[in-house]
Amino acid sequence: MKDQTAKLLATLASSKRVLLTTHVRPDGDALGSAAAMALALKHKGIAVTVLLLSRLPTKYAFVFQDCGLQHIAGDNSVPAGFSLDGFDTFLVVDTGTWSQLPGLREHVEKFAGAKLVVDHHLTQENWADQKLVLTEAAAAGEIVAELIEQWDVPIDKQIATALYVALVSDTGWFMFSSTRPFTLRLAAQLIEAGVDTDDIYQRLYQNERAERVTLQARAMQSLELHADNRIAIMSIGKRDFAETRAGVNDTENLINIPLQIRTVQASALLTDSPEGGPIRVSFRSKGQLDCSKFAEQFSGGGHARAAGAKIEGTLADVRALVVAKLLQQI
């Protein structure tokens, strides 16, 4: 590990222009790791361009903005006109697979410079010249922290904040089983370096739009349980959107709320979009129900645990139909 780290650092140290990227739809670990790595490269006087394959999520924008990090972004792919010409090193953090790097493969495969991967995921592909993959790391940020330390880059407040965001995002604020003693020791070190943990907590967990939470309340008011509390169904109508001023994007993750109930095996959420059209129905399961198969009868699809369909009809009719079909299954 130490040797691999030293080798990777040697490559970075001899680079003049690094293209640094991370996986599409970046989360806190992806962005925090990329920001910390970019700041370390800058500290060493190495020019770095950060490429995001999706727009910078508003929630995490502070990680880049507070330290003045510039980036280029695509729309779930590389931006138009993107080229690796002029770069001598290509560095990816928090993934090592092409499926997570849409649009990049053709560029990287003909790239003559060094191709480096720093990651903690088990699934890997073998296209990089050098890889630093540590699956026991709770976050890619842990590996980046080790790189930065071995490189003798001082962990200032900006780097510490980026790394802290990486750690808390991938460990559910140190709740997940992936949290290891190293994670907590590193967290302590980052707090000593000046991380404002309360500020990060507020930005990540207490930063929802009022519209979204009031829509959530509406959805929860519509919750009905069937079949001895094994089936949960919620619906959101056009009036709910109008009166809360929320949008369809604000329904994200709502369907998971009923799964908190011990007995619930399947959850369905119906959305009557303000834009009109058929009723959107989402299904989630934590039991026997195969959501994908279930959704097929409505010409929908997805995965065993999560699927969706679009059904024509009024909200009340579709709700009755979905409940009836679920009762046949569960």
- Looking at the Cβ atoms of 33 and 271, the one nearer to Mn ion is 33
CB 236 to Mn ion: min, Å:
32
CB 93 to Mn ion: min, Å:
9
Q: Are 72 and 41 in contact (CB under 8 A)?
A: no
CB 272 to Mn ion: min, Å:
36
Interacting residues with Mn ion between 139 and 198 (CB under 5 A): 140, 170
Residues 6 or more apart from 223 whose CB is under 8 A from it?
Answer: 232, 233, 234, 258
- Residue 247 is encoded by which pair of tokens? 């949008």
CB 140 to Mn ion: min, Å:
5
- Looking at the Cβ atoms of 164 and 241, the one nearer to Mn ion is 164
Q: Please count the residues of this chain forming the interface with Mn ion, following the rule CB under 5 A.
A: 4
DSSP state of 305: S
CB 262 to Mn ion: min, Å:
29
Amino acid at 32: G
Compute the distance between CA of residue 4 and CA of residue 132 in angstroms, rounded to an integer: 7
* 240 counts as binding Mn ion under rule CB under 5 A: no
241-278: buried (b, 16+ CB within 10 Å) or exposed (e) per residue?
beebebeeebbeebbebbbeeeebbbbbbbbbbeeeee
CB 301 to Mn ion: min, Å:
28
Compose the 77-96 pattern: x for residues touching Mn ion by CB under 5 A, - for all others: -----------------x--
Angle, vertex CA 267, rays to CA 264 and CA 271, nearest 5:
155
Interacting residues with Mn ion between 116 and 145 (CB under 5 A): 140
Compose the 23-62 pattern: x for residues touching Mn ion by CB under 5 A, - for all others: ------x---------------------------------
DSSP string across 64-106: HHTTT--EEE-SSSPPTT---TT-SEEEEES---GGGSTTTHH
**Interface residues toward Mn ion, by CB under 5 A:** 29, 94, 140, 170
